[in-house]
Every structure is written in C-alpha cells, then in structure tokens.
Amino acid sequence: MSESAPLPGPYFGEYGGRYVPESLVAALDELTEAWEALKVDPTFKLELAELHRSYTGRPSILTEVQRFAEHAGGARVLLKREDLNHTGSHKINNVLGQALLTRRIGKKRIIAETGAGQHGVATATAAALFGLDCTIYMGEVDTERQALNVARMRLLGAEVIPVTSGSRTLKDAINEAMRDWVTNVETTNYVFGTVAGPHPFPAMVRDLQRVIGDEAREQVLALTGSLPTAVAACVGGGSNAMGIFTAFVGDPGVKLFGFEAAGDGADTPRHAATINKGRPGVLHGARSYLLQDEDGQTVESHSISAGLDYPGVGPEHAWLADSGRAEYRPITDDQAMAALRLLSRTEGIIPAIESAHALAGVLELGRELGPDSVILVNLSGRGDKDMTTAGHYFDILDRDAEQM
C-alpha cells in the first residue's frame, strides 16, 4: 500500500471548495463530519468490506490481455475488471459506502443524478438493498439514449425524473438534484456519483473508489513483482480514474494517464475534453476546469459516451494536471469505438464506451512506453448498456429487428 495519504479537501491546490447556496452548507458539514467519523470506524469498514465481498463481488480480478496488447506496441496490458462488479461498473463501490453513510445520519430518502444511467442504477440498487426511497434525476436526452437503464432503475423501485431544463443532459440533472436537495435537505441525502461537486464529495467519493487502485496495486505486484509503468483510466467527472490513481499517486515511478472524451475531435466544437480544452472556473459547487464561453456560461459537451459527456471534471484531477503528476489526453469517438471493437474481438470482453476511451489511449501509450512496460488499465464498466449505440455505430443491427 502507498503510505502517502491523499488530500482531505476541501481544497486541492487552488481547486475544490464549496460554491453552493448557504442552504446546503449545514448538510455538507453534516456529511463531512459523518464521513470523517465513519471512514475510521472499524464496524463500518467491516460492513463495507463484507458488502464488497458478498454483494458486489470484490476483489475484482486482474486480466492480462495479450492479444489486445499486440496492438499496443507489445506492452503488457492488465485490465482491472470493474466491469464484473454487480450492476456492471465501478459506480457501486461509491454508492454502497454512501448508502451506509445515509443510514448513519438517519435519512430515509436518497437522490442522485445520472448521465449514462450507471450511477443511477447503482444508487437505485443500493436503495433497494437498504430500503430507502430513491429519486434519480436524468437529462431527458439521456433517458432517450439510455432507455434500458431507465427501465432498470424503475424496476428496482426508483422514481426516475427526466430533466427538461438547459441542455437536458447530466449537468442539468445535477442542477435539478441540487434543487431537490436544497428543498428536502432535512430528510434527504444526495448520493453524488463522481469526484466533483462541493466538499466533501470529491474527497469522499475518491476515498470510496480507491479500493480499485488499492486492490490493483497488490495484484500487479503479485503478478509481476513490481509496480506498473503506467496507470490509465477514462475521465468524465473522474471517479474511476481517481479510484485507480490514488494508490499510485505516492509512487513517483508510476505514470498516471487520464483519457478525456474528445467527441468529434478536441479541436472541433463537439467534445468533452475539459482539462485539455477548458479553463478554470466554478461549476456545480467546486472550482475546477470546465468548458465555458467568455462570459462563464457553461458550454455543452459532446461525446458518444453518455458517461463522459460532462463539461466539468473533479477538482483533484485539475490539481493533478496542473502539477504534472498526471497527464490527460483526448480520445475521439472514433478512436474509442475502434478500441471497443478491438477488445471485443481480441479478448471476448465488451467494454463500456467510457472505458474504451482508456483502452484507445493505451494503444498509443504502449507504443510510446515500449514492450518492457506494464500498463494497468481501469476497465470501469461493461458494454451491455451500449449495444444500441454500438449497433448503430458499426451498422450491425438487422433492420427488422431494430426496436429501440
């Protein structure tokens, strides 16, 4: 285990903080205090570890992908298989922790935002497991392109509210969830899905996701006898990336790479490459990089991947980028989809389109780092939810069978 403790927040260098209505401060203070107490509480640790083991299926395995790696300059490529978790992505790690926290502070209702629907499904799952009322806010555009996840959430007993304001995507779902929280804060806990938002969310979500990197670090050491050359992950808000980076931040020899969604291309207007193309500002309660116009109005992002289609990014990533500790590179829709197909055909593993951005990055990275390198990649989610998108993209659907 890496011994250097990650920053506790609220600030990561000049980033982070709390840019929120005063009405939310008491709830954020309550969460911060409860989380500080809970994360060192042995009973909580045991309870969460048991949920990870017997509900989620942790530790997630490490899979070496040799046939895929032949396309990555011959580097050794190791996948951390978060796609095998219950509910299909890393999101469950965070949600189970926040559900336990909700119970600790005595609230009976949870709300969440969701983009692709993965965090919404994970939250609805935890609500079912813990017997909590659950409302999920999802941009209307996303409810249309991720209709199956809407059905999953409703089947799990959650209320799904399509958000029709603004750009009708993830950023507006967050706005609407915040409005709900301001109104119902006495009874309701906001289960935030990524390492963005006001303190304590960036630090708390990272703390709950760092299990990915903590496990992987030991697994890579056991397999290869040394630390990896590089660690790679896709970055939207950035929770799976912080989850796998955190265990390695204190290892100066391990390079960290985040891959952002470049949509049609980072130099076109249609992308979600927040760190590469944005500039510092305030959005959704924190100071970080964001996509904005000269007046500070948020600019809509674009990505084939709903989970990366977000004009902001977690403040700790902004800090890691500025300090040079991690490097963030853009990956286009086409690069990601090519990598998705490559992993499917060489390894029999269909990744989420989000995770395919990291895989595409690794294809380049492997050639740069050479055949002696070992690259650990966070395969943050599985591709089942993306079959409609992939079916259209590759034109592999039978016309008559197309029902979505």
Partner 1 sequence: MSAAVPGAVASTIAARRQAGSGALIGYLPVGFPDLPTSIDAAVALVENGVDVLELGLPYSDPVMDGPVIQAATQQALANGFKLRHAFEAVEGVRARVDAPVLLMTYWNPVLQYGVERFAADLRDAGGAGLITPDLIPDEAETWLAASDAASLERVFLAAPTSSPERLKRCVELSRGFVYAVSTMGITGARADVDRAARTLVDRLRDAGAENACVGIGISTADQVREILGYADGAIVGSALVRALAEGGVAGVADTAARLATGVVA
User: Where do contacts with partner 1 occur on this chain (CB under 8 A)?
Assistant: 17-23, 25-27, 29, 165-166, 171-172, 175, 178-179, 182-186, 281-285, 292, 294-298
- Which residue lies nearer to partner 1 by CB, 28 or 156? 28
> Which of 89, 239, 380, 385 is flagged as catalytic?
380
Q: Min. distance of Cβ 275 from partner 1 in angstroms?
A: 17
- Which residue lies nearer to partner 1 by CB, 165 or 226? 165
Q: Min. distance of Cβ 293 from partner 1 in angstroms?
A: 9
SS3 262: strand
Is residue 150 within 8 Å of 115, Cβ to Cβ? no
Burial zone of 346 (CB within 10 Å; 0-12 exposed, 13-18 middle, 19+ buried): middle
Rounded CA-CA distance 314/312 in Å is 7
Select from 160, 168, 113, 114 the least CA-distant residue to 140: 168
Q: Min. distance of Cβ 17 from partner 1 in angstroms?
A: 5
**What's the sign of the alpha-carbon dihedral 166, 169, 172, 177?**
positive
Query: Could you tell me which residues are beta bridge partners of residue 173?
Result: none
Question: Within 13 Å and on the Cβ side, how many CA atoms surround 271?
Answer: 26
Rounded CA-CA distance 362/344 in Å is 15
Q: What is the β-pairing status of strands 15-16 and 11-12?
A: antiparallel
> Which of 91, 255, 277, 385 is flagged as catalytic?
91
Angle (deg, nearest 10), helices 201-209 and 25-38: 30
Which residues are within 8 A (CB) of 236 and not within 5 positions of it... i.e. 6 or more apart? 115, 194, 260, 261, 272, 305, 307, 308, 309, 310, 313, 354
> Which of 80, 82, 107, 113 is flagged as catalytic?
113
Residue 113 annotated in active site? yes
- Which residue lies nearer to partner 1 by CB, 292 or 389? 292
Sequence-separated contacts (24+) of 38-46 with Cβ below 8 Å? 38/100, 38/101, 38/104, 39/207, 44/100, 44/104
Q: If you search the block for the tokens 């470049």, which residue do you land on? A: 262
- Which residue lies nearer to partner 1 by CB, 71 or 171? 171
Q: Min. distance of Cβ 252 from partner 1 in angstroms?
A: 32
Give Cα 88 distance to the centre of its chain.
12
Q: Residue type at 161?
A: I
Q: Min. distance of Cβ 26 from partner 1 in angstroms?
A: 4
Rounded CA-CA distance 26/396 in Å is 52
Select from 99, 165, 87, 85 the least CA-distant residue to 134: 99
Say what the alpha-carbon torsion angle 218, 12, 354, 177 is, to the nearest 10 degrees.
120
**Residues known to be catalytic:** 91, 113, 380
